[in-house]
Amino acid sequence: EALQPTAAVDAYPAGPSSDSDSNLPAYPATGTIWVIRPLGQQCQSDAEFEYANVEEAITALDEAGIQVYLGDVVFRPACEACDCPTSEHFRVRIDESNLEQARALGWEVEE
């Protein structure tokens, strides 16, 4: 006999609508790539970071003509030496055609 869904599954809330109030453009199905850059280097003070948060990093990419579809903060393993990157990294989804321009601004393809 097949199992029937429970009330909890049936009552699961619907996902976000396509009328989301996000200020980022619609996410394309193909032709995009994740790029990443560290917040800064170990031993740097917060005031020395180029961007204080992912929103500032997205604004800088936008001002450089690179459209950002998604952006967030991720944490990567990192050494604790002062010349190592921070574990906190900014990650954004951009058009593959903008990769070289993003690399010139310090971004690398996420592996």
Render pLDDT for 2-44 as a digit per residue (tens, 0 to 9). Answer: 665 555 555 555 555 555 445 656 555 579 999 999 999 999 9
The answer to whether position 20 is within a domain reads no
Q: Tell me the residue range of the domain where 102 lies.
A: 30-109
Render pLDDT for 86-96 as a digit per residue (tens, 0 to 9). Answer: 999 999 999 99
Q: What predicted TM-score, i.e. pTM, was given to this entire model?
A: 0.70
Q: What is the CATH number of the domain that holds 61?
A: 3.30.70
**Cα distance between residue 30 and residue 20, in whole Å:** 21
**Cα distance between residue 109 and residue 32, in whole Å:** 11
The answer to whether position 72 is within a domain reads yes
Average pLDDT taken over every residue of the chain: 84
Q: Determine if residue 65 is left, alpha or beta; phi over 0 gives left, psi from -120 to 50 gives alpha, anything else beta.
A: left
Is residue 63 a contact partner of residue 2, using CB atoms and an 8 Å limit? no
- Across the range 70-75, mean pLDDT stands at 96
